Structure 1
Amino acid sequence: MPVVGLGTFMSKGDEVEKAVYSALQLGYRHIDTADLYMNHERVGKALKRAIDDGIVKRSEVFLVSKLWPTDYRADVMRPRVEKMLSDLQVGYLDQLLLHMPEAWDYPGESDDYSRFFPTTTEGLPAVNASHDLVDTWRVLEGLCEERKVRSIGVSNFDIVRMRHLLRAARIKPAVNQVEVHPFLPQKELLEFCRDEGVAIVAYAPLGAPAYP
């Protein structure tokens, strides 16, 4: 996994397509996206154009995406991953992450951004408290064994949830992608993951622009 990568959060349309293509031209080989970002098709177009133009080979690019917690059900995960691969125009992902450390209710298929944030009748986040993330992890392990994805990991997991997953995992999470920067050093989490052999991928190294 290349040390420096291009994140595509809050980037859509022509903007993200140009950014990914330019990044590959400049030498970036680690591209990070997610189902939440709703930009898989444009990232895929940029990657395909860079390959067609001889800038990179597919094997040289470390492509990462993430599953959103509304899609942690086994019957939803596999079709979602197949759509990711189709939209990105690739045969496999180098890494697939669980975007958040809890499952939410599945609201059904929709192109509307609101599908990512289902709520209860009281207007609260529709968290599926009965869902065990180990069940979701088993599906990821299967996808990894089938080579649909080459490695699997998590994002935004704290120590408690990491411990729960590590106790049951047949394939250990390769990474935990979390916000890390001088104002949020997360030393205890970093030390725990290091001791467990889980790499930390730091996002928002200068702080998260979308949040105070």
Structure 2
Amino acid sequence: MDGPGAGGSGADRADADRADADRSGVGGTGVGGSGVGRTGADGAGFLVVGVGARGSATAPELLGLIRRALAEADPPGAPGTTGTTVALIATLAGKASHPAVRAAAAELGVPVAEHPADALAAVPVPHPSALVGAAVGAAGVAEAAALASAPGGELVVPKRKSPAATVAVARLPHHPATPSSPSSPSASSAPAGDLP
């Protein structure tokens, strides 16, 4: 599996990331950064993009899938959704350093929260996969990671697949700066943002 996130290295960086997560209240240690606390244009909400990526996943493939999923989560003209902001990307532990995941996080300007397989296995998902369960120890990655990073939130876009990637989107039930639950797993720090 891949190593820790690309947001820095060493024990000092990890400690700083954990402190950011504790302040933000968003699941996934290390979630923080200057933009995570800002609201969408009309305060409509914050989204967590859960991703799964095979080793062969490419940045254009994953970014295209994310763009399509975000369009479903925030369709033009839908009441109460315009102005949502992506707070973070969530995935399986070890995947933050995957080139496609790093590219997506950079494009969105958000951190990546990683969750261990046992934590993802504990999250009920609407579209479990026995194949994924056998491969990684959890019946789903994208849906479970999105929900694990949005405690009390709702899955607004279920798993969407491409040949080498999966994406799901959850809406946070609160402003990310509002503590809701203890932080978990690890992430790299970056400001929140939107895809162009």
> TM-score, normalization: structure 2?
0.28
Q: Which has the higher helix share?
A: 1
Computing the radius of gyration from Cα coordinates, the structure with the larger value is 1
Question: When you count strand as a share of all residues, which structure comes out higher?
Answer: 2
Structure with the larger RCO, 1 or 2 (CA within 8 Å, 6+ apart): 2
